[in-house]
Every structure is written in structure tokens, then in C-alpha cells.
Structure 1
Amino acid sequence: MLLDLALYLVTPAPWRHRRLGYVRESILLTSRARRCRRAWAPHCAAARAAMLAAATDLPRRETVVVLGSGGLADVPLAELSALFRSVVLADAVHPLGARLAARRHGNVRLVTVDLVAEAGAVGALCGSADLTISANLLSQLPIVPLDRYEARHQPVPEGLGRHIVAAHLAALDGLPGRVCLITDVAQREEDRLGRITDSLDLLHGVTLPAPPRAWDWEIAPFGEAEAERRLIHRVHAYPDWAARRPSSPA
């Protein structure tokens, strides 16, 4: 708790992003990633492999943009820095650990951007990129806007979550370079007997095509959220989103 508070106070971020709750969400996610490092390891390895697969056969490797880079737990920064002349990490908040990691590579640049509120940001950042990676971002985009309405005890505009998800996909579809999309799509809650006790659609009704790669992400092991429950996310990965090659999920 004290560590989280200290990180909240010292993490650089625009006042607007701090006021909207982006810094709080970033600290909570970074802390969970630290606590659940072992449980997250298979997911992070699979995500990194999908990102590198997207980069292997590109005809040109000038610029890669990682949207939702966050704490870099699932981003192979060293490998991307070696493959591309320029690496752009884009997120609403860049935690201190990510900032330190970026400084080790002379070709890495940080961009602080609210990808929900700043219309056209994806196109402006990624319009000339050879590869754009949407890194476990899609399901996260609606969280802060929806929480803001709930905190104010205001009714949530109908379809807001779905609209935010669809808008990000539309922005990715408009990019000329290759797009790698990695996103969690559904959450299930399990008890210790493996029974599903609850489930949640993380994309608010938006359905994605069958992915070339898919896996389970134990995002909250037993004892993290509840003693007798764990949360598992289903993840879809599309190393080449434009191709949308259907395959049997792993």
C-alpha cells in the first residue's frame, strides 16, 4: 500500500490523466503484475512471441509503435529496439520502471496520450509506422471512462464501452502498415474445483474473428482477488490483424 502511494505521487503524468484516474489504474496494474509475476509469465511470453512474429517478415523495419505499452511486462522492448530503427511507446501513463527500461535504448521514445479522448491519435502516431502493436489495450480503453460515470453516480451512455472498442478497431483498420492486435476478450471466474462461477464480456459485445493464436491468462490467481476464486482472461492474438487468418485456438 505504501509503495503504491509512493509510486502514485512520483509517477510523471499530465494533471488531466491523474485527475481522470489513469495514474491510479496504472499503479494498480503494475502492482498486480509484480505480485502475480509467476502466474502472468505464460501470458507475457505468448504476447511477446506474437509481437515478434508480427515483425519477422516485414519488408521494412523503420518504426514500430506500441499502443498500451504500460509497464512493459508483455512487451519485448530489447528485441523490438534491435529490430527497428525507432520504437515509440504510447500510453496514458508510463510507469517509472518502463521509463528506466526505455532509457537503456537510444532509439526508444515515449509518447503520453489518452487514446480514448484524443481523436485521431492512433492515425497521427502510427500513420507512417511499419508495425503498430495494440498491446493488451483494447479491453482496457473503456475502463476509465466507464468508472468516471459511476464515480459521479451518472447514468452511463448506452453503448459507450462498445463504441470505444469499435472506434479503436476502426482506427487500426485505417493504418497502412502492419497491425498486431493482442487483446483479452472474456473473463471467467473459477472456484478451486474448476467450476465457472461468473463470466464477463470484456469487449462489450464486439465480436472478433477466430484468432491465429489464443491462450488463457490467469490474471488474478487464488488469493489475489478472492481466497477461493481466481480470474482467467481469454486472450486473442493476431500478429497480422489485416489478414485475420482463422485458425484453431491453442
Structure 2
Amino acid sequence: MLLDLALWLATPAPWRHRRLGYVRESVLLSARARRCRRVWAPHAAHTRAAVLAACADLPLRREAVVLGSGPLADVPLAELAAAFERVVLVDAVHPLSARLAARRFGHVRLVTADLTGAGDPVGDLCGRADLTVSANLLTQLPVVPVDRHEAAGLPVPERLGAEIVAAHLAALGRLPGRVCLVTDTEQRTEDRAGRVTDRLDLLFGVSLPPAPLSWDWELAPFGEAERHRRLVHSVRAYPDWAAARDGLSLP
């Protein structure tokens, strides 16, 4: 608890992002990542492999942009820095660990941005990128806006989550360069006998096409959220999103 408070105070962020809860969410995510480092390791490795697969055959490697870079546990930063002339890491909050890692490379830049904001921040940030990575970001985008309505005692608009998810996918679809999308899609609650006791659609009804890569991410092992239940997320990865999204219908 004291470490989390210290990180909340020490993490650089615009006051608006602190007030909206982005710093709090970042600190909570970092805390869970520390506690669950071992069980999260396969998920991080799969994500890094998907990103590297996305850039393996790129003819141009001028700029790579990572949306949702966070603490960089699932981002192959060293490999991207070696492969591209410029690397841009984009998130609402850049934890201290990520800032320290980025300082090792003179051509890696941090951009602080609210990707749920008005306009097309994705297009503005990635319009010249040869590779754009949406790294386990898609289902995180609705979290703070939904929490903000609930904290204010306001009803959550019925389509809010779906609209945010669809807007991000649409923005990725307009980019001229290669897009790599990695996202969780569903949360399963399992008991110790392996029975699924609950399911949660993390995409708010938006359907994704079949993915060339998929795996399970044990988000909260037994004892993390509940003693006798664990949370498992289904993850899909698209090293070339444009090749997979034909026929995708967005609300």
C-alpha cells in the first residue's frame, strides 16, 4: 500500500490524467503485475513474439508506434529500437520503470495521450508510422470512462464501451502502415475444479475476426481476486490487422 502511494505521487502525469484516474489504474496494474509476474510471463512473451512477427518482413522501418506501452513488460523495446529509426511509446501514463527503460535509447520518444479523447488521436500519432502496435490496450480504453460515470453516480451509457472499442478499431483500420493488434476478448471465472462459473465480454459486443495467434492469460490466479476462483482472459493477436479485418462489422 505504501509503495503504491509512493508510485502514485512519483509518477509524472498531467493533472487531468491524474484526476481522471489514469495514474491510479496504472499503479494498480503495476502492483498486480508484480504479484503475478510468474503467471503473466507467458502472456508477455506471446505478445512480444506477435509484435516481432509483425515487423519481420516490413520493407520500411522508419518509425514504430506502440499504443498502450505501459510498463513495457509485453513490448520488445530493445528489438524495436534496433530495427527502427524512431520508436514512439504512447500511453496515458508512463510508469517510472518505462521512463528509465526508454532512456537507454536516444531515438525512443514517450508521448502522453488519452486515446479515448475527441478527434482521432490514433491517426494523428500514427499517420506516418510503418508499424503501429496496439498492445493489450483495446479493452482497457473503456475502463476509466465507465468508472468515471459510476463514481459520479451517473448511469453508464448503454453503448459507451462498444463505441470506444469500435472507435479504436476503426482508427487502426485507417492507418497506412502495418498494424499489429493484440487484445484480450473475454474473461472467464474458473473454480478449482476447472468449471467456468462466469464469462464477461471484454469487447462490449464487438466481434473480432478469427486470429492467427491466440492464447490464455491467467490474469488473476487463485488467491489474487478470490481464494477459490481465478480469472483467465482469452487473447487474440493479429500481426497484420489489415489482412484479418476484412468483413469486420463495427457498431
User: Do both share a fold (TM > 0.5)?
Assistant: yes
Partner of 2:249 in structure 1? none
After superposition, the C-alpha distances for 1:54-94 in whole angstroms (9 at most, x for unaligned) are 00000100000000000111001011100111000000000
d(CA) in 2 for partners of 1:245, 1:145: 26
d(CA) in 2 for partners of 1:104, 1:81: 10
CA 1:141–1:95 in structure 2 vs 1: closer, same or farther (change >3 Å)?
same
* Letter of the 1:97 counterpart: S
d(CA) in 1 for partners of 2:89, 2:118: 16
Partner of 2:157 in structure 1? 157
Partner of 1:102 in structure 2? 102
After superposition, where does 1:1-250 map in structure 2 within 5 Å? 1-244=1-244
d(CA) in 2 for partners of 1:9, 1:133: 29
Shift in Å at residue 119 of structure 1? 2.1
TM superposition score normalised by structure 2: 0.97
TM superposition score normalised by structure 1: 0.97
* Letter of the 1:34 counterpart: R
d(CA) in 1 for partners of 2:146, 2:117: 13
* Letter of the 2:82 counterpart: A
Q: Percent of counterpart pairs with the same letter?
A: 72
The alignment yields a C-alpha RMSD, in angstroms, of 1.0
CA contact (8 A) 1:142 1:164 kept: yes
* Letter of the 1:111 counterpart: V
d(CA) in 2 for partners of 1:108, 1:225: 36
CA contact (8 A) 1:212 1:245 kept: no
Unaligned runs of 5+ in 1: none
d(CA) in 1 for partners of 2:30, 2:98: 10
d(CA) in 2 for partners of 1:85, 1:219: 34
Q: SS at the partner of 1:242? A: helix
Shift in Å at residue 117 of structure 1? 1.3
d(CA) in 2 for partners of 1:40, 1:158: 32
After superposition, the C-alpha distances for 1:218-247 in whole angstroms (9 at most, x for unaligned) are 01111111111110000000000000189x
Unaligned runs of 5+ in 2: 247-251
Shift in Å at residue 118 of structure 1? 3.9
